[in-house]
Structure 1
Amino acid sequence: MEYWKELLLLGLLCTLGECFPECDLGYRSEGRDCFDVDECMEPLCGNNTLCFNTNGSFYCQCLPGYKENNGYGDFALGGHCQDINECTDGENICSHSANCSNRIGSYECTCQFGYSAAASSQGHCQDIDECKEADDKKEDLCGVKGTCQNTNGSYWCMCSKGFTNYGNQRTTCSELHCDSFSGDGRPTPSLGGLADILFMMRKSCLALSDPSTAGEGIADGDVLLKKLFKGTEAILSPGPVASSEDVSRLLGVVEDAIMLIGPRLKDGRTKTVTNETDAEIAVQRGTTPPIGPIHLTNANATLDTDWTTAAGMGAYQGFALAALLSYKNLESSVNRSFEKLTGHEKDGVNPSFQISSRVVSVVVSNPSTQNLSRHVNITLRHLQDNEESAQLSYICAYWNENGAWSTDGCYQLCSNATHTVCTCKHLSSFAVLMALYDMEHTFGLQVVTKIGLAVSLVCLVLCILTFKFCRSIHGTRTTIHLHLCICLFVADLIFLAGISQTKPVGGCRFVAAMLHYFFLGVFTWMLLEGVQLYRMVVLVFNASIRPLYLFLTGYGAPLLIVVISAIIRPEGYGTDKYCWLSQDGLIWSFYGPVCFIIILNVIFFIVTVWRLAEKFTSLNPDLSKLHKIRAFTVTAIAQMCILGLMWVFGAFLFQEGTTVEAYIFTILNSLQGALVFLMHCLLSKQVRDEYAHFLSCVCTTQKKRYSDFSTTNPSSSQSQGSRSGQHTGESQI
């Protein structure tokens, strides 16, 4: 701009008559001389350019890495330069083993993984021999049973037979344990579908462990996982697993299968949901052990741990795995085996246990899961929402290798009505157990039971003596009542002495079997009473039943039921709380026959009452006989109601009984003998007459003994004898 100012000033001077020599464009005058103007002193060129001065002018040139952008107009008068993208404009500027990155005015070549920059040529990379470097550093790149083979930009680990890298060629060779899927020595007759899973997993394992197969027969991980859970569903859907050994076998096979399948899954996170299982599996792969938290969740449980715990502190296998598997219906199969749970007494009371959550398995690739470096937190949702109280508490437990629940190494972190958080030092299959303590009025129940059963036993003894020695009432019906009372007496005696004696297990099972037999005997003799009443009304002649048939039915039918039940499920006799039948199906070997007998008796009683009504309205009814049968029917119906009602409350008590139900059951059970004595003895006129005759004889004998010690005065003796004879005669009348 100074140049143009000088020209204007020169023109003004010339106008005033003081004109200097006129200079060309690009020059300036000083006095009468012209000198070149350095235009580069002013920013006449655009960005990313260099300015060059010439005589009388100048020119602009782009910096290296830039090119002229003609879109900005006259380049010489302020034009701009734009960056050159050497990665696209140039040809093979970097080698095929390098990645080109454009920079402003330049570019950069970065070697790909497995290559390093060549010292002799910029932009070119050469292969790294990872196998040689590992040997130089004394590193075991492929494991003890792996052979390293270098390739362009990478390397392969060739595994020996019995080892695999799960198809990941840069992964350490890990040992396979295909024998765990053989099933040798561990028969599982009740788990028919498990054989298919074992065959599938063993075949896949052997294909992985044999390098000569070259990948033949190796199924996709996602396909194998789908088949695994389909097979598991086929095993669990029919119903509960029969034994604890079968449960342990199933859990172990599924966990081993997940360990084999997990490294071959395509995605880092895999979720699978079926009717019987809900699983989430997370896998991390790489040359270095992963770090960071792990959070796996489903509708029934949540797992919180970290990758360091999942991978373990031993040799890194090239991958790390963590899986959370929830079984939706397995709790009914493991709602037993609480023998190892000790140390949970409260106020001297041992609790009973039941499963309160889904069974959950946690699987990690860490080979040392029995003593983890950090605790693992597992949050389990309760099957039912129950607030903690004095009568219950929640306990974290795991299924141990012996097929039983244990709490070693696991404890409850916190709990509420819906969830319990368990923290464990080892991994296995877990569940929340609800510890149920006896009701608050345990002492009161024991007192009522002992007093009531003592009264009941005394009354039953009186009933047995009455039915045995009262000749005036002998008959088929009396025989039935006699043996009904004998069965009830023995059952109450065993109940009083052994219902709570759960140790030893063998003794408890014997007590449960005896209670099963004699209580069934009570109901069987009650059924025979209904049959006899029916025959008395329907049949005119020969209404009695032969004693042999009575004994075969009354004692043989219960024995047959008990023997079959003991053969099918012997472990169902005896529970942790009572010496009675377990609630996992065996209880119906008692309730089933009882319900059947009650239904039959109801039918017999309806027919009996109906036929009685017809006979009462007939022209010449035998009223004395009909009144007697009617009285028999009323007492039989009352007896059935008392016994049946007792076991209705018993069914609730042995499951989840309240205090009120426990007292009702105890009172009814305790007073059965007294009620039988009242109905069949005290309310019977014949029996009362026999009692009166017996008492009169006893009283007469006592008076005679008293008279033996009186004075020997003859007159006095005669008068006393006369009075005694008069008294005896009155008694006989």
Structure 2
Amino acid sequence: MRNMYLLSLGLLLALTENTAMTCDPGFATKRGKCVDENECVSIPNICGENASCTNTHGSYYCHCKGGFTPTHNFTQANGTICQDINECANGSSVCDPNAECFNYVGGYSCTCEPGYIPSNGNKTFIAGQGVQCIDINECVAGSAVCGPNAECVNSVGGYSCTCKPGYISSNGKEIFIAGQGVQCIDRNECYNPSFCGINATCHNTPGAFYCTCAEGFRLKSGETNFTDPEDKPCISVCDIDKSICGGGTCRNSKDGHECVCKSGFTNYGHKQMKCTELKCNTFISESKASQASPKLKELVSLMTNRCLGLSFTQVDGEQFLEAFLSALDALLNGGFQGKNHEVSALFNIVENMLKLIGPLLSEGQTKRSATETEVELLVKRGSSPPEGDFSISTTSTQFASHWETATGNTYLGFTTAALLSYKDLEKTLNHSFNHLETQKKQKFKINSKVLTATVSNTETANLTKSVTLTFSHLERSDKNHTCVFWDPDLKGGAWSKEGCTTVSSSDLQTVCSCNHLSSFAVLMALYDIGDVYELSLITWVGLPLSLVCLLICIATFYLVRSIQSTRNTIHLHLCISLFIAYFVFLVGIARTENEVGCAVVAGVLHYFFLAAFCWMCLEGVQLFRMVVLVFNTTLRPIYMIAAGYGVPAVIVAISASAHASGYGTNSYCWLNVEDGFIWSFYGPVCAIIIVNVFFFLITIWKLAEKFSSLNPDLNNLRKIKAFTVTAIAQLCVLGIMWVFGCFQFNKDTLAMSYIFTILSSLQGVLMFIMHCWLSKQVREEYAKFLSCICAPQKRKYSEFGSNQTSKSQASKSAQHTGESQI
């Protein structure tokens, strides 16, 4: 209780002591003492925002931060608030003349205006740092992209874009800046046709232009163009050079000038072209053409008359071309069957006509299609030679070259190029390959259209730049193709590949490159004659054997009287025909150097081979009469001679009259295969074979009937049967030989060539075997003849002759009796 009293007394004394002590403002009682009170800590926000508080002994004061006002010290006794100072408004900040001031709460910053950059490289700065805003050169820095054909112009604090001379802005304004989508486009100075003057032509170019004098006008300075249209310096060429027309008179005209040509000169219908001398004698002469072909004379007359008439009247080139193509159609209609020198003359005429007609055409390009030909012509005119490439084509051919090649070293104010394609000429020119065969040992066939390509340049025999010719194939083939041209210097004319190479070849077309111009085609190699030596060996061994055997047959049928009969007479003349044919073949088949001689050899072979078949036909007739007609089984010799030798003579005479050029080719002296003339032989041969087959079938049928009946005369029937078998065998051998001969013209039938060569070269041997060696009666006569020669004691000639005569008469009597009985 005492302790509680003491505690209460202590607390009361303490309260009494504190109540009694009072401190000044700014001070606080602490343990009985007045100590300084820190208002900045006890009251954190006593100064407000944007101000700092500073404590003092017994008090404090407030101070606004930088960029705020008021700038003096204060307390919150009067309620002062710190407010932002706008340095950009009161002028306290001097950024730079080319800078902008940006105020913010408690401060500001300086930023250079567009087109300027701070000297210290920083984006912002403040006054007093010594920073300056310097100009940016946008044209150098690359920030100004004015675009093509424009120029950049820098200025203080900026730049501008202007179009280069010769260009205008797409928005029509002279000045623009990048990013506005403005482009500088070409200014067409030639919008006004008379900009360069009435005697000149304006040519606009990107960003510029130039003027050229019109045709018939020139510059005094000799230059080709000018760019000062105010001067208008073009004057007529007649006032500059009176000799501008060459061989004519120059006259001023509203177009500049015109050339009036005197007799013997022409400007090809264009009055401003230089008059050039007409050289009609450069074309093929009429005498030479008339010697080649009467039809060619008509072409030459047309060409010459037109040529001579050019100096007096203006000729319409288009009409001239139509007239020429019509005349050419008349010549080629039905096929051109001329000799090689006539083909050369034709190509020469066509080339010169195209050179003559080209400059007369009014259009730069002319295409025409006729019945037998197709042609395209190009012509370029101007004061200077044309340059660059050109290409002309027909349906299946193309000709490409350079204008420099077409012009040559002499320029007359024009340059022409022409391509003429013949629609069916390849059919009649499928020959004259002997020059190529000699080198390559190949058979050829034209596999493209024949064309004639020509230009106005007269020197085309050896061009510095080759021309390109493209041919479409007539037959789709992957065989080797050769580019050739018609060379008139090869024995009057032949195909040659000199100067021409095959650039590329597919199964559809062949591309050729040639260093000269002429008439061209593409040849297809049919097959290599790789076995020529073997075939020749068979021929040169077999034919002499056949000739010996045929000679023995002829002697046998003529001298041995015991076997003489109508049938053996037929055999005799059959062997004679074959002997003469094979002998002529052996000595003359390859003698092609003389055309007349070669044609005679071909005619002789044609005649005697046909005669052999005619005698063979008579044998069929004779067998038919022996079996079917019991009486009158013999044929009168006069009738047999007329049929065996007269019928072939009529066929050969008609063939020679209708197509004499079909006898003899460039490779051999035989009938022409390419133009179908060979059928003047194969046609009669096929007819004879058919007739004999008909006779033999009837003969066999009748023989079968007689053998089936009870006929007592079996001996004669067996004899006729033997005759029939040998006759049929003979027909089969001889007929099959020529059947195989039809199929030896291609690579896949080389076996046919061997069969034909073997059968034809050994024909005489087979005749001897069938008609002599296999005949028992003939063998007996040979044995008697040999025994007489080999006997030690020879019989007297009279005795031998009488015995032989009696035996032959008896045999002949028996034979005739036998034939009459049948």
Q: TM-score, normalised by structure 1?
A: 0.70
Post-superposition shift, 1:147? 1.4
Is residue 330 from structure 1 mapped to residue 425 from structure 2 by the alignment?
Answer: yes
Distance 1:496 1:387, change over 3 A: farther
Which residue is 2:393 aligned to?
297
The letter of the residue matching 1:548 is I
* Aligned equivalents of 1:635, 1:326: Cα separation in 2: 56
Residue by residue over 1:279-322, the C-alpha shift from the partner in whole angstroms, topping out at 9 and shown as x without a partner, is 221111111110111222334332221111101112x2111101
* Aligned equivalents of 1:149, 1:544: Cα separation in 2: 98
Residue by residue over 1:571-603, the C-alpha shift from the partner in whole angstroms, topping out at 9 and shown as x without a partner, is 544434333222234423322322232233233
Post-superposition shift, 1:492? 3.0
* Aligned equivalents of 2:558, 2:599: Cα separation in 1: 33
Which residue is 2:250 aligned to?
148
Which residue is 2:724 aligned to?
633
Distance 1:128 1:354, change over 3 A: same
Alignment of 1:451-490 (within 5 A): 451-490=541-580
Query: Is the contact between residue 194 and residue 232 of structure 1 (CA under 8 Å) also seen in structure 2?
Result: no
Post-superposition shift, 1:562? 4.0
Identity of aligned residues (%): 44
Alignment of 1:680-695 (within 5 A): 680-683=771-774, 687-692=775-780, 694-695=782-783
Post-superposition shift, 1:149? 0.9
Query: Is the contact between residue 352 and residue 577 of structure 1 (CA under 8 Å) also seen in structure 2?
Result: no
* Aligned equivalents of 2:601, 2:783: Cα separation in 1: 39
Query: Is the contact between residue 149 and residue 155 of structure 1 (CA under 8 Å) also seen in structure 2?
Result: yes
Which residue is 2:520 aligned to?
430
Which residue is 2:452 aligned to?
361
* Aligned equivalents of 1:697, 1:134: Cα separation in 2: 106
Post-superposition shift, 1:510? 4.7
Which residue is 1:575 aligned to?
665
* Aligned equivalents of 2:566, 2:229: Cα separation in 1: 117
Distance 1:646 1:155, change over 3 A: same
Q: Gapped runs of 5+ residues in structure 2?
A: 1-88, 91-186, 221-227, 795-822
Q: Gapped runs of 5+ residues in structure 1?
A: 1-7, 10-84, 707-733
Which residue is 1:713 aligned to?
none
Is residue 238 from structure 1 mapped to residue 334 from structure 2 by the alignment?
Answer: yes
The letter of the residue matching 2:409 is M
Alignment of 1:133-282 (within 5 A): 133-135=240-242, 140-143=243-246, 145-178=247-280, 184-186=286-288, 188=290, 197-198=299-300, 200-210=302-312, 213=313, 215=314, 218-219=315-316, 221-282=317-378
Which residue is 1:400 aligned to?
488
Distance 1:533 1:98, change over 3 A: closer
* Aligned equivalents of 1:94, 1:354: Cα separation in 2: 61
* Aligned equivalents of 2:191, 2:786: Cα separation in 1: 133
Which residue is 1:59 aligned to?
none
* Aligned equivalents of 2:452, 2:203: Cα separation in 1: 49
The letter of the residue matching 1:378 is L
Residue by residue over 1:605-641, the C-alpha shift from the partner in whole angstroms, topping out at 9 and shown as x without a partner, is 3444455556667786855444433433333222222
Query: Is the contact between residue 98 and residue 124 of structure 1 (CA under 8 Å) also seen in structure 2?
Result: no
Distance 1:163 1:607, change over 3 A: farther
Residue by residue over 1:526-566, the C-alpha shift from the partner in whole angstroms, topping out at 9 and shown as x without a partner, is 12212222333343332212223323332343344445555
* Aligned equivalents of 2:492, 2:232: Cα separation in 1: 60
Post-superposition shift, 1:400? 1.7
Which residue is 1:669 aligned to?
760
Q: Does the residue aligned with 1:317 lie in a helix, a strand or coil?
A: coil
Question: RCO higher in 1 or 2 (8 Å CA, sep ≥ 6)?
Answer: 1
Q: 1:514 aligns with which of 562, 581, 604?
A: 604
Q: Does the residue aligned with 1:431 lie in a helix, a strand or coil?
A: strand
Which residue is 1:377 aligned to?
468
* Aligned equivalents of 1:94, 1:302: Cα separation in 2: 41
Q: 1:416 aligns with which of 490, 505, 529?
A: 505
Post-superposition shift, 1:521? 2.0
Q: 1:553 aligns with which of 632, 638, 643?
A: 643
Which residue is 1:53 aligned to?
none
Residue by residue over 1:194-241, the C-alpha shift from the partner in whole angstroms, topping out at 9 and shown as x without a partner, is 56655554554344211xx4x4xx33x233323332332232221232
Query: Is the contact between residue 395 and residue 435 of structure 1 (CA under 8 Å) also seen in structure 2?
Result: no
Distance 1:285 1:581, change over 3 A: same
Report the count of equivalent residues.
600
* Aligned equivalents of 2:621, 2:365: Cα separation in 1: 68
Distance 1:655 1:523, change over 3 A: farther
Residue by residue over 1:331-369, the C-alpha shift from the partner in whole angstroms, topping out at 9 and shown as x without a partner, is 233334456x379535xxx55655443321111111223
The letter of the residue matching 2:487 is W
Query: Is the contact between residue 488 and residue 519 of structure 1 (CA under 8 Å) also seen in structure 2?
Result: yes
The letter of the residue matching 1:345 is Q
Alignment of 1:116-127 (within 5 A): none
Post-superposition shift, 1:642? 1.5
Higher radius of gyration, 1 or 2? 2
Post-superposition shift, 1:244? 2.6
Post-superposition shift, 1:697? 7.6
* Aligned equivalents of 1:108, 1:574: Cα separation in 2: 70
Q: Does the residue aligned with 1:639 lie in a helix, a strand or coil?
A: helix
Post-superposition shift, 1:130? 1.5
Distance 1:162 1:408, change over 3 A: farther
Q: Does the residue aligned with 1:361 lie in a helix, a strand or coil?
A: strand
Distance 1:159 1:663, change over 3 A: same
Which residue is 1:22 aligned to?
none
Q: Does the residue aligned with 1:185 lie in a helix, a strand or coil?
A: helix
Distance 1:93 1:648, change over 3 A: closer
* Aligned equivalents of 1:464, 1:497: Cα separation in 2: 21
Distance 1:190 1:540, change over 3 A: farther
Alignment of 1:619-630 (within 5 A): 623-630=714-721
The letter of the residue matching 1:357 is S
Query: Is the contact between residue 341 and residue 488 of structure 2 (CA under 8 Å) also seen in structure 1?
Result: no
Query: Is the contact between residue 155 and residue 170 of structure 1 (CA under 8 Å) also seen in structure 2?
Result: yes
Which residue is 2:100 aligned to?
none
Post-superposition shift, 1:128? 1.2
Q: Does the residue aligned with 2:430 lie in a helix, a strand or coil?
A: coil
Query: Is the contact between residue 663 and residue 669 of structure 2 (CA under 8 Å) also seen in structure 1?
Result: yes
Which residue is 1:77 aligned to?
none
Distance 1:241 1:617, change over 3 A: same
Which residue is 2:439 aligned to?
345
Q: Does the residue aligned with 2:252 lie in a helix, a strand or coil?
A: strand
The letter of the residue matching 1:473 is I
The letter of the residue matching 2:266 is T
Query: Is the contact between residue 344 and residue 486 of structure 2 (CA under 8 Å) also seen in structure 1?
Result: no
* Aligned equivalents of 1:94, 1:239: Cα separation in 2: 58
Query: Is the contact between residue 454 and residue 517 of structure 2 (CA under 8 Å) also seen in structure 1?
Result: yes
Which residue is 2:533 aligned to?
443
C-alpha root-mean-square deviation of aligned residues, in Å? 4.5
Q: TM-score, normalised by structure 2?
A: 0.63
* Aligned equivalents of 2:202, 2:340: Cα separation in 1: 63
Post-superposition shift, 1:178? 4.5
* Aligned equivalents of 2:338, 2:353: Cα separation in 1: 22
Distance 1:228 1:618, change over 3 A: farther
Query: Is the contact between residue 202 and residue 210 of structure 2 (CA under 8 Å) also seen in structure 1?
Result: yes
Worse overlay, 281-290 or 248-257:
248-257
The letter of the residue matching 1:523 is F
Query: Is the contact between residue 292 and residue 342 of structure 2 (CA under 8 Å) also seen in structure 1?
Result: yes
Alignment of 1:61-140 (within 5 A): 113=214, 114=217, 128-135=235-242, 140=243
Worse overlay, 174-183 or 403-412:
174-183
* Aligned equivalents of 1:93, 1:379: Cα separation in 2: 46
Which residue is 1:591 aligned to?
682
Q: Does the residue aligned with 2:310 lie in a helix, a strand or coil?
A: helix
